[in-house]
Structure 1
């Protein structure tokens, strides 16, 4: 089984954001994935919703044996374990969150399902903070 190169974006705007991001990376690693790169932390205003809580974001390159859907299920389980009850899709919009983990790229795969779109169009082309974080990873 081969390793797949994946780019992730992680964000948090509740609690100790940097600690949340570090814990999420630890859990990703403990799940059998190899983290090869992690960006600097970047603090940003919320995008597409109003909140008084500032976000802390990072990008990461990992290598995984998981398929895209297996990886999605795995990162969603980390979000739930860390206290995120509902994701943006279930809520019908964005809200404050203890952790958010998005799959941005998976090798050079183009994939679209009801639950997952790879590459992640908004982060690659629309969100300025994402472009800053991803500039050395894409």
Structure 2
């Protein structure tokens, strides 16, 4: 089994409900939730929006590989109304749900579509540092 740290955020619609639904789907489709943080509110980073985010961190146990995990996450995001993927569009925008893989065990993974650990969450984004400190 692999232990994975995921960060979730929502800044559109019923943000708390979006995160709750995403966590439930992660539990069903990816694996059991081992730990989660409190919800925190944060300002958007790397783009302008008047909509604040709700964010949470979770640790999940999964049998999935990094790429299969990413595929499952993208399916969950789409099922909850996420239309545009910032990786594909090249820009950040408001979203119903965003799920990022921050750590996957202690591996370093690099491909065209996935980099682990997630450098922006580890070193750049202030809300991420708070969540990761509480989580790990």
Q: Within 5 Å, which residues of 2 pair with 1:4-19? A: 4-19=2-17
Taking the aligned partners of 1:122 and 1:6, their CA distance within structure 2 comes to: 17
Deviation at residue 136 of structure 1 after TM alignment: 3.0
What does 1:10-89 align with in structure 2 at a 5 Å threshold? 10-89=8-87
Distance across 2 between alignment mates of 1:91 and 1:68: 22
Within 2, Cα distance between the matches of 1:137 and 1:16? 24
* Corresponding residue SS for 1:136: helix
1:101-120 deviations in whole A, cap 9, x for unaligned?
A: 00000000100111100000
Counterparts of 1:51 and 1:115, CA distance in 2: 26
> For 1:24 and 1:11, how far apart are their aligned partners in 2?
10
What secondary structure sits across from 2:70 in the alignment?
helix
Q: Report which stretch shifted further, 128-137 or 70-79.
A: 128-137
**TM-score, normalised on structure 2?**
0.97
Partner of 1:91 in structure 2?
89
Consecutive unaligned residues of structure 1, counting only runs of 5 or more, are none
Checking the alignment, whether the CA contact within 8 Å between 2:6 and 2:58 is kept in structure 1 is yes
Task: For residue 32 of structure 1, report the CA deviation from its aligned partner.
Answer: 4.7
Cα RMSD (Å): 0.8
Runs of 4+ in 1 over 2 A off after TM superposition: none
Extract unaligned runs of 5+ from structure 2: none
TM-score (norm 1): 0.96
1:125 has 2:123 as partner: yes
Report the CA distance between 1:57 and its aligned residue: 0.2
